[in-house]
Structure 1
Amino acid sequence: MSLVDRHCVHDAPALDDAALQLMLAEVPEWKITGDRIEREFVFRDFHETMEFVNALAFMIHREDHHPDLAVGYRRCTASWTTHSAGNRLSANDFVCAAKADALYAGRAGA
C-alpha cells in the first residue's frame, strides 16, 4: 500500500535507518534534516499559498499528526517529526508528507 493510501497510527515507533531510506524514496521532494522531514512548497501568490495551507490543515486534523508550518507570501514549509517516538521520524511523518505532496500536485492550476 502506498504512503498516500495509509493513515497515521497512534504511538507509531521510530524508524530505523533502512526504513527511513525506503520511505524517503517514496517522497523524493522531501529531505531529512536532523530528526525531521521537511519540504518547501512554492506558489504563484498568497491566495494559492493559503488555499494549500487550509487544505493541508484539514488533512493534518484528519490524520491527527501535526507539523510545524512556516507560511510566507508565496511559500509554505512543512516539517514533521513524531513527538511520541522521542522526536524521531516515524511512518506517520512520511504518510503525511505523501498526502501533502498529493494535495500540492492536485491543487488548481498545478
Structure 2
Amino acid sequence: MKLADRHCVHDAAALDDAAIRSLLPEVPDWRVESNVSGTCLAREFVFRDFHETMEFVNALAFMIHREDHHPILTVGYRRCTAAWTTHSAGNRLSDNDFICAARADALYAERAGA
C-alpha cells in the first residue's frame, strides 16, 4: 500500500536507519535533518503567491488534524516548510512522518500542479 493511502497510528515506533533509507525514495523531495532535539523529515513547498500558499496550508491543516500528527510549519509569502518528527518515539522518525509527508506531497500536487 502506498504511503499516501495509509493512516497514522498512535504510539508509532521509531524507525531504524535501514527503514528510513527504504522509505525515503517514496518521498524524494523530503530530507532527513538532525538537530539537538532529534530527527525530522522536512520539505519546503513553493507557490506562486501568498493566496496559493495559504490554500495549501489550510488543506494541510485539515489533513494534519485528521491524522492527529502535527508538524512544525513555517509559512511565508510564497513558501511553506513542513517538518515532521514523532515525539512519542523520542523525537525520531516513525512511519507516521513518512505517511504525512506523502499525503502532503499529494496535496501539493493537487493544488500547485507540481
TM-score (norm 2): 0.94
* SS of residue paired to 1:54: helix
Q: Secondary structure at the match of 2:64?
A: helix
Question: Following the alignment from structure 1 to structure 2, what is the Cα–Cα distance between the partners of residues 23 and 64?
Answer: 21
SS in 1 for 2:62: helix
| Counterpart AA for 1:64 | D
Match of 1:86 among 70, 86, 90: 90
Question: Which 4+ residue blocks in structure 1 deviate beyond 6 angstroms?
Answer: none
Corresponding residue of 2:26: 26
Measure the CA separation in 2 of the matches of 1:56 and 1:31.
Answer: 19
Distance 1:30 1:55 in 2: 19
Check if 1:47 corresponds to 2:51: yes
Look up the SS of the partner of 1:87 in the other structure: coil
Q: Distance in 1 between matches of 2:28 and 2:84?
A: 15
> RMSD over aligned Cα, in angstroms?
0.6
Over residues 36-65 of structure 1, what are the superposed CA-to-partner deviations in whole Å (9 max), with x where a residue is unaligned? 000000000000000000000000000000
Q: State the secondary structure of the residue aligned to 1:21.
A: helix
CA distance in 2, matches of 1:96, 1:23: 12
Displacement of 1:25 in angstroms is: 1.0
Structure 1 vs Structure 2: percent identity of aligned residues?
Answer: 76
Other structure's SS at 1:106 match: helix
Q: CA–CA distance in 2 between the matches of 1:59 and 1:11?
A: 19
User: Runs of 5+ in structure 1 lacking a partner?
Assistant: none
- TM-score (ref. length: structure 1): 0.98
Aligned length: 109
Structure 2: gaps (5+ residues): none
Tell me the equivalent position of 1:74: 78
TM-aligned CA deviation for residue 104 of structure 1: 0.1
